[in-house]
């Protein structure tokens, strides 16, 4: 991995990824402008989550070029390669599952990365963590254990934990899919606030079409390992150009 003079937080050209004979990413070309919120939508198995995980080095891609947060990732870079450490310090990731450490308090979960990866001072890290907890509406839960929180609260903590590293790019892989409707609303409200601020570049794999229409600066439609549609939400969701996107939005709930 090398540092580059890139023009955008994310730039992928001809990105390909296969599992055996099945091509999961079939030559993705995509670029993201700083501060954008991109909603990745489309049928299951279309390549959305695989693409997102390539951006953070969690999946190695087979061919193409990829630049993320000022760093160039080479094809076939092993997921445990030390060369990916600078990338993961600049790119945050939030999953469907919350992956909080159950033996640590909420505050300790959020402070762990900046303390041990960035070697920041505890006073500075804890102050930022408390600010982030206030932002996601959980300042009063700083000393609670994860088991004492609802699913929506745990996901908000997971978002705060990712933001504590002050990432240049935040990736979210279906962050509300495991939550009930009320808890989904809690998490989407936090993401809506982040998107409106425009200070964080976000890519969100989601099936929440109302959220994508209202919050995203662009919507990407993935199908069959290809990026088949890319444009403003009103255009892509309301008047898609491709037949596959028309079929998807015709079947998707608003």
Q: What CATH number is given to the structural domain containing 26?
A: 3.40.50.300
Kindly state whether residue 218 falls inside one of the protein's structural domains: yes
25 domain-assigned: yes
Is residue 75 a part of any domain in this protein? yes
Question: From the CB of residue 163, how many other CB atoms can be counted at a distance below 10 Å?
Answer: 22
Tens-binned pLDDT, residue by residue, of the chain (254 aa)? 655 544 579 999 999 999 999 999 999 999 999 999 999 999 889 999 999 999 999 999 999 999 999 999 999 999 999 999 899 889 999 998 888 999 999 999 999 999 988 899 999 999 999 999 999 999 999 999 999 999 999 999 999 999 999 999 999 999 988 888 888 888 999 999 999 888 889 999 998 888 898 899 999 999 999 999 999 999 998 888 888 888 888 766 55
DSSP code for 146? G
Q: If phi over 0 gives left and psi between -120 and 50 gives alpha, with beta otherwise, what is residue 57? A: left
Residue 211 lies in a domain: yes
pTM (2 d.p.): 0.91
Structural domain of 63: 2-96+167-251
Q: Is residue 131 part of a domain?
A: no
239 domain-assigned: yes
Contact 134, 140 (CB under 8 A): no
Q: Please, what is the Cα angle at 124 between 121 and 126, to 5 degrees?
A: 105
Contact 87, 56 (CB under 8 A): yes
Question: Is position 122 within any domain?
Answer: no
Task: Answer whether residue 135 is part of any domain.
Answer: no
Number of domains observed in the structure of the chain:
1
The contacts of residue 85 (CB under 8 Å, 6+ apart) are: 117
CA distances from 54 to 12, 17, 215 (A): 10, 9, 24
The three-state secondary structure class of 35 is coil
């Amino acid at each position: 991995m090398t540092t580059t003079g890139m023009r955008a937080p994310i730039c992928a050209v001809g990105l390909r990824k296969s599992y055996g004979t099945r091509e999961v990413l079939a030559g993705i070309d995509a670029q993201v402008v700083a501060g954008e919120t991109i909603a990745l939508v489309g049928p299951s198995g279309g390549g959305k989550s695989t693409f997102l995980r390539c951006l953070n080095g969690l999946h190695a891609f087979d061919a193409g070029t990829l630049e993320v947060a000022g760093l160039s990732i080479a094809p076939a870079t092993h997921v445990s390669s030390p060369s990916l450490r600078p990338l993961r310090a600049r790119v945050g990731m939030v999953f469907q599952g919350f992956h909080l450490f159950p033996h640590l308090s909420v505050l300790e979960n959020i402070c762990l990365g900046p303390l041990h990866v960035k070697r920041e001072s505890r006073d500075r890290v804890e102050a930022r963590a408390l600010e982030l907890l206030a932002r996601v509406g959980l300042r009063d839960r700083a000393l609670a254990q994860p088991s004492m929180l609802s699913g929506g609260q745990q996901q908000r903590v997971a978002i705060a934990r990712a933001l504590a590293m002050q990432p240049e790019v935040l990736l979210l892989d279906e962050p509300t899919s495991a939550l009930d409707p009320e808890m989904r609303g809690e998490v989407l409200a936090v993401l809506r606030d982040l998107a409106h601020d425009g200070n964080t570049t976000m890519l969100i794999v989601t099936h929440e079409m109302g959220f994508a229409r209202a919050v995203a600066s662009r919507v990407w439609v993935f199908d069959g390992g290809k990026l088949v549609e890319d444009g403003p939400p009103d255009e892509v969701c309301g008047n898609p150009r491709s037949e596959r996107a028309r079929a998807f939005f015709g079947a998707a709930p608003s």
